[in-house]
Amino acid sequence: MESVSGLAGVSRETRGRLETYRDLLVKWQARINLVAPSTLEDAWVRHFADSAQLIAHAPDRVRLWLDVGSGAGFPGLVAGIMLMETHPDSQVCLIESDTRKCAFLQSVVAETGAPVKVIPMRVEKAEAAVAALGHTADVISARAVAPMPRLMEMIAPYWSQGCIGLFLKGRDVASELTEAAKYWTIRTSHIPSSTPGDGVILKLEELARVRPEHPH
């Protein structure tokens, strides 16, 4: 695992927590569909390293990292475990509408002790629950949840000055951003993903509405 980019150089404790997470993923996958079955064998790269690479792009201070549509916890729960080592004051919040996936996420949190709050709700309904955490988000992340115009509508209530977005996206991101720019002033940069494939990390540093809600 140490040789997998994004997971290189993690401590023995972090490695142990991620292995606990991977073992639980395999166990629960037999009962509920957490990830595409074809990706399970290569989960270290496809899910864990893909998520872990975001940590290198986190700001120095992360009080709250918000992950939307977390599914089986990628990238947010991996971030939560990695931040225990690099940003010990951080809290991660996972918003996921599927309650069975949330039960899995809770079991990983319980087994690893990660400072992660799971909110079993649709992101559109979770504003009060997130506000109760006491901090605005410094980082918002998502993978495979929605095209950018829709994703921007989902995250806008949680966005504040100084926040950054870190999104794992595929090859269609340029056309998604062209569409999004009709509705938002945005400032973005693309960082090639360090895991195989044609993915990118889309870093969002400005989000301000210029037209009413996208008609998704």
Residues within the interface to ligand SAM (CB under 6 A): 69-72, 74, 95-98, 101, 122-124, 143-145
In the complex, minimum distance from the CB of residue 15 to ligand SAM, in angstroms, rounded to a whole number: 21
In the complex, minimum distance from the CB of residue 35 to ligand SAM, in angstroms, rounded to a whole number: 6
| Three-state secondary-structure class, residue 12 | helix
In the complex, minimum distance from the CB of residue 71 to ligand SAM, in angstroms, rounded to a whole number: 2
Nearer to ligand SAM among residue 30 and residue 60 (C-beta): 30
In the complex, minimum distance from the CB of residue 12 to ligand SAM, in angstroms, rounded to a whole number: 26
Contacts of residue 3, defined as CB under 8 A and 6 or more positions apart, other chains included, come to none
Nearer to ligand SAM among residue 71 and residue 199 (C-beta): 71
Structure tokens at 66: 């918000």
**What does DSSP say about strands 200-209 and 91-95: parallel, antiparallel, or unpaired?**
unpaired
In the complex, minimum distance from the CB of residue 9 to ligand SAM, in angstroms, rounded to a whole number: 24
Nearer to ligand SAM among residue 97 and residue 188 (C-beta): 97
Contacts of residue 165, defined as CB under 8 A and 6 or more positions apart, other chains included, come to 139, 140, 141, 142, 155, 159, 202, 203, 204, 205, 207
Structure tokens at 188: 């973005």
Cis peptide before 75 (omega within 30 of 0): yes
Residue 143 annotated in ligand binding: yes
Q: What is the DSSP letter of 45?
A: I
Residue 80 annotated in ligand binding: no
Residue 69 annotated in ligand binding: yes
Distance (Å) of CA 159 to CA 24, 127, 156, 184: 32, 11, 5, 13
Nearer to ligand SAM among residue 76 and residue 115 (C-beta): 76
Nearer to ligand SAM among residue 72 and residue 201 (C-beta): 72
Return the CA Rg of the chain.
Answer: 16
Residue 176 annotated in ligand binding: no
Residue 209 annotated in ligand binding: no
- Known binding site for S-adenosyl-L-methionine: residues? 69, 74, 123-124, 143
